[in-house]
């Protein structure tokens, strides 16, 4: 399938028209304001990723790829060694912004590997190769999201109720997205589903982003508080759970936005299929189990103050604010990837996926 410049420019992360800067739709401003940010420096790119102006593992990867190219074209170093040293330092800095999302380090390392593989070329030639690679990363994600959506669509039927947690739509990826990709692809084909979107405390990605995307696409979406998922499942309104993933371990354990493991436990209790959807770049075969995934701890103020006119807790009250939790592979029905649907045993079949 061909990807046009127009396809890329329609995504929430893309290069500017003159291809000198990274442009992102600031997700912290949604749903009330559509604000685009132009990123040019390493600090601007780092902050955009850190504060979740750009978020979602694939979107972060796309942003990192473009970011590395934009930073490379600003280098004044004439020698290969100096150019590589400076760009490597930028890469390490960007990776430190969100260590859990494997797509971030994956994209940075992929860009650096292009430089390593072409040590004999001039700096301008290296910059052009990095430009082409950053475009390829984006195109591959659009193609992967389309394939993931096709595979996911094959598992549900018209009228099904789908429950999702956090946001794994086009804002977090490209084109259709991952977790809600099957719903959006189905809608394009005249197939309707009913989606229940967990609000996803404390950053409210489900409320601010998922329900926004689905409502704009004309999908029947109902926003629920996180603690309502059990009742919605008990009522028989949910036939499948679709969630995204920030890192999948070699045994099938996976990290996703905090609260995902609770949804999986509820789905298991009610006998509802529970799927995670993500590109193969999210699978980390060097990570044996979920216990090896580093979980990012975020600012306690996100719980106490972020969405409120006045604080919702006393200043001296302690807060525990992990960004992710890990869902055990035993709770997982299947992993839906761009290369196909992976069923248990995951430790065997994930290896086969890369064979």
- Whole-angstrom Cα distance, residue 60 to residue 311? 31
Residue 83 CA: distances (Å) to CA of 55, 61, 108, 130, 341? 29, 22, 15, 13, 41
Phi, psi at 161, each rounded to 5°: -95, 130
E strand spans, the chain: 13-15, 22-25, 36-39, 161-164, 194-198, 220-224, 240-243, 247-249, 254-257, 274-277, 283-284, 324-327, 334-337, 340-342
CA-based Rg of the chain, rounded to a whole angstrom?
20
List of residues 6+ apart from 289 with CB closer than 8 A? 249, 250, 251, 253
Query: One of 139, 226, 246, 338 is an active-site residue; which one?
Result: 246
Cβ proximity of 206 and 197 under 8 Å = yes
The C-alpha angle with vertex 238 and arms to 150 and 142, in degrees rounded to 5, equals 25
H or E element in which residue 85 lies:
helix 80-95
CA end-to-end span of the chain: 24
Three-class SS state of 78: coil
Tell me the longest C-alpha to C-alpha distance in the chain: 66
Catalytic (active site) residue 220: no
Q: At 193, list the tokens.
A: 């589903």
- Whole-angstrom Cα distance, residue 40 to residue 355? 39
Question: Which residues are marked as active site?
Answer: 246
């Amino acid at each position: 399938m061909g990807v046009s410049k127009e396809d890329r420019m329609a995504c929430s992360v893309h290069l500017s028209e003159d291809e000198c800067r990274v442009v992102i739709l600031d997700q912290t401003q949604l749903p009330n304001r559509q604000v685009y940010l132009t990123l040019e420096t390493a600090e601007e790119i780092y902050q955009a990723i850190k504060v979740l102006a750009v978020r979602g593992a694939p979107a972060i990867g796309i942003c990192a790829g473009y970011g590395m190219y934009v930073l490379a074209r600003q280098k004044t170093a004439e020698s290969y060694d100096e150019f590589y040293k400076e760009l490597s330092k930028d890469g390490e800095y960007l990776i430190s912004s969100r260590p859990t999302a494997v797509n971030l380090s994956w994209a940075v390392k992929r860009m650096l590997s292009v430089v390593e593989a072409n040590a004999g070329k001039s700096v301008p030639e290296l910059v052009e190769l990095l430009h082409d690679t950053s475009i390829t990363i984006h195109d591959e994600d659009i193609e992967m999201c389309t394939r993931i959506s096709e595979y996911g669509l094959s598992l549900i039927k018209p009228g099904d109720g789908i429950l999702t947690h956090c946001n794994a739509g086009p804002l977090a990826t490209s084109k259709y997205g991952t977790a809600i990709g099957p719903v959006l692809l189905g809608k394009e084909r005249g197939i309707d589903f009913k989606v229940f979107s967990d609000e996803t405390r404390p950053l409210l990605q489900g409320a601010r982003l998922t329900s926004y995307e689905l409502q704009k696409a004309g999908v029947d979406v109902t926003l629920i508080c996180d603690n309502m998922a059990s009742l919605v499942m008990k009522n028989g309104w949910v036939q499948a759970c679709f969630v995204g993933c920030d890192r999948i371990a070699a045994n099938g354990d996976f990290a996703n936005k905090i609260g995902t493991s609770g949804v999986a436990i509820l789905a298991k209790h009610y006998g509802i299929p529970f799927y995670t959807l993500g590109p193969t770049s999210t699978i980390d075969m060097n990570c044996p189990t979920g216990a090896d995934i580093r979980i990012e701890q975020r600012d306690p103020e996100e719980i106490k103050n972020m969405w409120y006119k006045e604080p919702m807790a006393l200043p001296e009250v302690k807060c525990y604010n992990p960004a992710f939790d890990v869902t055990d592979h035993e709770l997982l029905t299947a992993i839906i990837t761009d290369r196909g649907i992976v069923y248990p045993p995951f430790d065997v079949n994930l290896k086969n996926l890369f064979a």
